[in-house]
């Protein structure tokens, strides 16, 4: 497959360690992938669904002890502990290799070692990166084919270069006590063992595209961010692009695939999906910030996805999709999950494969973290520019969280430095869906806390440095909160497609078409500038004013919470971020 001596030497070293019975290079040819899929169906690794209802679709069940990312078993291994930072679990590289190599030794005896050459980003983009994943799982091979660009063309692009990320994975014995997801950013290496769950084993995703790439971006002058990318086309055919970071349970995929309200659609507005999860951003030749989606597919959570919440996601899943840990309807060979509709199968199997009657069982049919893997090409709203090699120019960056009261519906930062502070202090409140106390504030800077591959204090500095390079061409930065509650505990904002109304104001601000009011925390809209056409009764002008209110006492409590959160970063926290925190407190006390 390749004459690249760096690749060949590494493959030989791994084969000696893993001791596979066979070795297979993944070429990217459909015939090979079809053959592997058939093999996985025969062994039960995949279950073939009703091909009339779900053409090309299969179901996978992971081990019961292996259903989500394991943050306590995920490590950043740098020579200096401070370089990993308080945001990461750290073990020195030499020590981690000493722990993990014996687990990998002979792990593929009696198994096939699959070698997947893949590209994060369009193969012809100057901003893409090449990786290899060695795995013993056909599930991983088929998912990586959807999520990345794989095969011979990737090897051609790499040529003789040694600039590639080395990833090795084995399901081994699925022993959760010997489960490790170890990243070696200084070696461009990822080792994952004893897991079969996508978030831990699709090494191109969070492992490479965020943890390793964020480290690369810091060193090379670009940004790897946990952000969606969407385009908004106005009736004149002009498209402006927005990138947005949101913690889990904040509607990120729904926003990426947003369908505008009817009043907008009738006027000719369209929303285009470029990416739903990760953005790699760089400064273009014209000095503006551009973003590519490094992924080629979606690995999305399915519970709660339905015709109201995200019809474009449902459309994406209609064909050639791998479902993971959802319920199976035995009567018609289809899948079901909580929140899809009110008609669960009575003769079914739950995500564990146990007999399940959705009408009578108190147990959930689908795991709360059940997933779908689908090609971005399947998405009805996919942008015609989603694979542009240069990426798309970003006009605005959004940070969001789930706050019952403190954060207003939308506000704008004063400048890039202040915007970096908004990202650094992003937070959500826990809900009943999360184990623990309800209403506890959890900080998740830029939605990157579990994914930043180095010290987050240095990460904030990198943001500030990028802003300095962008100068007056930097995108404007905003914070949004769709989840404000009234005194009865009901959501005040309709959300979903109606979030378009806030995005319209944001783009109007980017083009200096509307004014804003400066308050202690930044700039807020004038209530009348939020378009309420079609929802005047549901969203009264007084309700918009309420959504934009800022309670200084609540915010001063938040300031104390932020101070506690920042403490572990010590001297690595940039002085500019400290200045912004002091400025916020001073503004609130005046």
Q: Write out pLDDT tens, residues 533-578.
A: 999 999 999 999 999 999 999 999 999 999 999 999 999 999 999 9
Say which DSSP state 96 is in.
H
CATH among 2.40.50.140, 2.60.320.10, 2.170.8.10, 3.30.450.80 for 298-378: 2.170.8.10
Packing angle, helices 213-220 and 456-470, rounded to 10: 50
One of 77, 207, 250, 452 is an active-site residue; which one?
250
For residue 333, give the nearest of 45, 37, 53 by alpha carbon: 53
CATH among 3.90.228.20, 3.40.50.720, 3.10.450.350, 3.40.50.970 for 225-296+384-589: 3.90.228.20
Q: CA dihedral defined by 89, 92, 94, 100, rounded to 10 degrees?
A: -10
Does 194 belong to an annotated binding site? Answer: no
Q: Are 183 and 212 in contact (CB under 8 A)?
A: yes
Beta-sheet pairing, 149-150 with 112-120: antiparallel
Say which DSSP state 475 is in.
P
Does 65 belong to an annotated binding site? Answer: no
Does 444 belong to an annotated binding site? Answer: no
Q: Which two tokens stand for residue 52?
A: 């009339």
Does 323 belong to an annotated binding site? Answer: no
Q: Residue 434: what pLDDT?
A: 39
Task: Order the strands of the 348-349 sheet from edge to edge.
Answer: 334-336, 327-329, 348-349, 355-356
Cα(189)–Cα(186) distance, rounded to whole angstroms? Answer: 8
User: Which residues in the chain come in under a pLDDT of 70?
Assistant: 431-438
Does 251 belong to an annotated binding site? Answer: yes
Residue 452 annotated to the active site: no
Say which DSSP state 177 is in.
G
Say which residues have a Cβ less than 8 Å from residue 523's Cβ, sequence separation at least 6. 411, 412, 413, 414, 509, 516, 517
Q: Residue 438: what pLDDT?
A: 58
Q: Residue 439: what pLDDT?
A: 72
Does 127 belong to an annotated binding site? Answer: no
Beta bridge partners of 275: 229
231 three-state secondary structure: strand
Chain segment 413-439, per-residue pLDDT in tens: 999 999 999 999 999 987 544 345 657
Q: Are 358 and 327 in contact (CB under 8 A)?
A: yes
Q: Residue 431: what pLDDT?
A: 56
Does 253 belong to an annotated binding site? Answer: yes
Q: Residue 248: what pLDDT?
A: 83
Beta bridge partners of 519: 522
Q: CA dihedral defined by 583, 281, 184, 91, rounded to 10 degrees?
A: 20
Q: CA dihedral defined by 563, 569, 575, 580, rounded to 10 degrees?
A: -30
Q: Residue 437: what pLDDT?
A: 61
CATH code 3.40.449.10 region(s) in the chain: 5-45+73-220
Cα(307)–Cα(305) distance, rounded to whole angstroms? Answer: 7
CATH code 3.90.228.20 region(s) in the chain: 225-296+384-589
CATH code 2.170.8.10 region(s) in the chain: 298-378
Q: Which CATH architecture has domain 5-45+73-220?
A: 3-Layer(aba) Sandwich (3.40)
Long-range contact pairs involving 64-67 (C-beta distance under 8 Å, separation at least 24):
64/352, 65/174, 65/176, 66/174, 66/176, 66/179, 66/195, 66/196, 66/197, 66/200, 67/197, 67/325, 67/367, 67/369
Q: Within 13 Å and on the Cβ side, how many CA atoms surround 482?
A: 21
Cα(495)–Cα(255) distance, rounded to whole angstroms? Answer: 9
Q: Residue 249: what pLDDT?
A: 79
Query: In b/e form, how buried is each residue of 159-179, taking b as 16+ CB within 10 angstroms?
Result: eeeeebbbbbbbbbebeeeeb
């Amino acid at each position: 497959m390749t004459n690249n001596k760096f690749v060949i030497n590494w493959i030989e070293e791994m084969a000696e360690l893993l001791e596979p019975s066979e070795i297979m290079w993944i070429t990217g040819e459909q015939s090979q992938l079809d053959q592997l899929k058939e093999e996985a169906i025969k062994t039960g690794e995949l279950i073939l669904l009703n091909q009339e209802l779900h053409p090309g679709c299969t179901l996978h069940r992971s081990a019961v002890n292996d259903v989500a990312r394991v943050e306590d078993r995920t490590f950043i291994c740098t020579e200096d502990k401070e370089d990993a930072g308080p945001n990461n679990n750290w073990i020195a590289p030499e020590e981690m290799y000493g722990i993990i190599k014996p687990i990998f030794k002979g792990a593929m005896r009696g198994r096939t070692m699959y070698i997947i050459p893949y590209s994060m980003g369009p193969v012809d983009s100057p901003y893409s990166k090449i990786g290899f994943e060695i795995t013993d799982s056909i599930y991983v091979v088929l998912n990586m084919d959807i999520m990345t660009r794989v095969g011979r063309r990737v090897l051609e692009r790499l040529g003789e270069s040694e600039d590639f990320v080395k990833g090795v994975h084995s399901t081994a014995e699925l022993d959760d006590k010997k489960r490790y997801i170890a990243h070696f950013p200084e070696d461009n290496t990822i080792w994952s063992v004893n897991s079969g769950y996508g978030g831990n084993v699709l090494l191109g995703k969070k492992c490479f595209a965020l943890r390793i790439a964020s480290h690369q971006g810091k060193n090379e002058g670009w940004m790897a961010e946990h952000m969606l990318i969407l385009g908004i086309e106005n009736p004149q055919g002009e498209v402006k692009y927005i990138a947005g970071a949101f913690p889990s349970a904040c509607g990120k995929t729904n926003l990426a695939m947003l369908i505008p309200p009817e009043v907008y659609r009738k006027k000719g507005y369209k929303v285009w999906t470029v990416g739903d999860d990760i953005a790699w951003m760089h400064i273009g030749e014209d000095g503006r910030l551009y973003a590519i989606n490094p992924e080629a597919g979606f690995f999305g959570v399915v519970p709660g996805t339905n015709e109201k919440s995200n019809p474009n996601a449902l459309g994406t899943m209609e064909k050639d999709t791998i479902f993971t840990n959802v319920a199976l309807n035995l009567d018609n060979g289809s899948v079901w999950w909580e929140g899809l509709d009110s008609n669960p199968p009575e003769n079914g199997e739950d995500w564990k494969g146990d007999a399940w009657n959705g009408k009578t069982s108190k147990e959930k049919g689908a795991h709360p973290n059940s997933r779908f893997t689908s090609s971005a090409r399947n998405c009805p709203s996919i942008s015609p520019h989603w694979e542009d090699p240069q990426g798309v120019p970003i006009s605005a960056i959004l940070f969001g969280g789930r706050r019952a009261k403190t954060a207003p519906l939308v506000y704008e930062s004063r400048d890039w430095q202040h915007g970096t502070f908004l990202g650094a202090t992003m937070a959500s409140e826990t809900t009943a869906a999360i184990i623990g106390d309800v209403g506890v504030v959890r900080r998740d800077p830029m939605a990157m806390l579990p994914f930043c591959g180095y010290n987050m204090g240095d990460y904030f500095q990198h943001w500030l440095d990028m802003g300095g390079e962008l100068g007056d061409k930097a995108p404007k930065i905003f914070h949004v909160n769709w989840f404000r509650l009234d005194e009865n505990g009901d959501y005040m904002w309709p959300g979903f497609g109606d979030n378009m109304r806030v995005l319209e104001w944001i783009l109007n601000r980017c083009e200096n078409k509307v004014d804003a009011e400066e308050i202690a925390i930044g700039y807020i809209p004038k209530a009348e500038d939020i378009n309420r056409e079609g929802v005047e009764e549901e969203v009264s002008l007084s309700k918009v004013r309420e959504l934009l209110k800022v309670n200084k006492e609540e915010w001063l409590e938040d300031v104390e919470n932020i101070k506690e959160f920042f403490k572990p970063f010590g001297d690595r926290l940039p002085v500019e971020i400290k200045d912004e925190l002091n400025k916020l407190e001073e503004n609130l006390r005046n």
